[in-house]
Amino acid sequence: MKSMKFDVPVVSVGNIIAGGSGKTPMVEYLINLLSREHHVCTLSRGYGRRTRGFRLVNENDSALTVGDEPLQIFQKFQPKIQVAVGEERVTAVPEILFYKPETNLIILDDAFQHRYVTPHFSILLTEYSRPFYTDFVLPSGLLREARKGAKRADLIVVTKCPDTLEKKEAKAIAGKVHKYAKGKNVFFSGIEYGDLISFSGKEIRKTNQLILVSGIGNPQPFQAYLNKNFELIDSIRFPDHYKFRESDVQKIIDMARSFKNKISVVTTEKDFVRLKPFQKMISESGIDFCYIPIECDFLFEKNKFDKMVSDAIIAVKRKDY
């Protein structure tokens, strides 16, 4: 398959397993790391949107026009960065450079299997609770490709690790990764949870009992966090990237009202983006809806990871790569 490499540095973030592996927190981590010194544009397919073709995300867009993850990134980082969507990324990159010529770094979201563009630096994510080396290719398992595909990555990050992970266990996991990606650096990251934020944008210091509403690939780590830190009394799970309807929101409101005590509804940040169009309905219900933002947090060797990524970008700009 013909693959294109561009002069502008391109960093790819992806995985080889179907479902969530922490790509959006990693993309946001890279934005925080790199946007101080580079004009960054993120590029993703825009999964779940009802539009097609290339599109620069703007303030009038919704999850239906650009997808939930690109919209979340845009709302969080705009105007510091640009966000674009496009299925054909080999043509989307030139369009980014045409409309936003100041762009000098592109982050490809969920692009490990996208072979039409050759990234200068590729980051592969694999989840601690279901590492790729224990799984099988679809339909026997959840792998998008064979395990040996991991060798294409420049480094591997094991995501959603528990805070209690010890270096001895991390070394053992790295050894299993090296069976398929020999000699590649393996890093370990966890999830850092923020404060509860109401849909109206106010920080909530205290809350009542919670109902979890989630429409993400793997809500178990989030649910475990809520069980540990709050009184979680029930949950409603929707498919990943679910397009909420008015009837769904009414069902959630009715469920919260059915309890004797006052109940709050908590969602992930990605679900908040897709529920935001129903803000008026939610506000009039009298039920507190809130979300918890998350960040990627490295357990070990954070500085080494940062340096590897930064050095790779510098090398591209010096034409040494």
Query: What per-residue confidence (pLDDT) applies to 308?
Result: 96
> Three-class SS of residue 113?
coil
Least confidently predicted of 152-156, 285-289, 308-312: 285-289
Contact 77, 295 (CB under 8 A): no
Query: What per-residue confidence (pLDDT) applies to 3?
Result: 81
Confidence of residue 1 (pLDDT cuts 50, 70, 90): low
Average pLDDT of the chain, as a whole number: 91
Secondary structure E strands in the chain: 10-15, 40-44, 55-56, 82-85, 105-109, 121-127, 155-159, 185-193, 196-198, 203-204, 209-214, 232-237, 263-268, 289-292, 294-298
Could you tell me the sign of the dihedral formed by the alpha carbons of 109, 10, 34, 79, in that order? negative
- Between CA 314 and CA 321 the distance in angstroms is 9
Query: What per-residue confidence (pLDDT) applies to 299?
Result: 96
Query: What per-residue confidence (pLDDT) applies to 209?
Result: 86
As given in the structure block, the two tokens for residue 184 are 């590649």
Query: What per-residue confidence (pLDDT) applies to 18?
Result: 84
As given in the structure block, the two tokens for residue 18 are 């179907």
As given in the structure block, the two tokens for residue 314 are 């510098």
Q: Would you say residue 124 has pLDDT above 70?
A: yes
Please give the backbone phi and psi of residue 89, each rounded to the nearest 5 degrees, phi first: -70, -25
Q: Which of 117, 120, 69 is nearest to 94 (CA)?
A: 117
Q: What is the mean pLDDT of residues 206-231?
A: 87
Q: Would you say residue 250 has pLDDT above 80?
A: yes
Q: Exposure string (b/e) for 165-176, b if CB count within 10 Å is 16 or more? A: beeeebeebbee
pLDDT digits (tens, 9 = 90+) for 176-213: 999 999 999 999 999 999 988 998 877 676 666 899 99
> Three-class SS of residue 187?
strand
Q: Would you say residue 260 has pLDDT above 70?
A: yes
Q: Which of 221, 183, 174 is nearest to 25 (CA)?
A: 221
> Three-class SS of residue 290?
strand
- Between CA 14 and CA 112 the distance in angstroms is 5
Query: What per-residue confidence (pLDDT) applies to 220?
Result: 86
As given in the structure block, the two tokens for residue 260 are 């004797």
Q: What is the mean pLDDT of residues 271-299?
A: 92
In the chain, the domains with their CATH numbers are: 10-192+297-317 (3.40.50.300), 195-292 (3.40.50.10700)
301 CB neighbour count, 10 Å cutoff: 15
Confidence of residue 101 (pLDDT cuts 50, 70, 90): very high
Query: What per-residue confidence (pLDDT) applies to 5?
Result: 87
Confidence of residue 321 (pLDDT cuts 50, 70, 90): very low
pLDDT digits (tens, 9 = 90+) for 128-143: 999 999 999 999 999 9
Contact 295, 29 (CB under 8 A): yes
Residue 10 CB contacts under 8 Å (≥ 6 apart), including other chains: 93, 106, 107, 108, 117, 118, 119, 120, 121
pLDDT digits (tens, 9 = 90+) for 78-100: 899 999 999 999 999 999 999 99
Q: What is the mean pLDDT of residues 51-55?
A: 94
H runs (alpha helix) in 144-297 = 167-178, 220-229, 246-257, 269-275, 279-285
Q: Which of 43, 36, 52, 32 is nearest to 8 (CA)?
A: 43
Q: What is the mean pLDDT of residues 227-231?
A: 90
Confidence of residue 110 (pLDDT cuts 50, 70, 90): confident
pLDDT digits (tens, 9 = 90+) for 23-39: 999 999 999 999 999 99
Q: Would you say residue 320 has pLDDT above 60?
A: no
Query: Per mean pLDDT, which of 203-207, 224-228, 315-319 is the most reliable?
Result: 224-228
Contact 54, 91 (CB under 8 A): yes
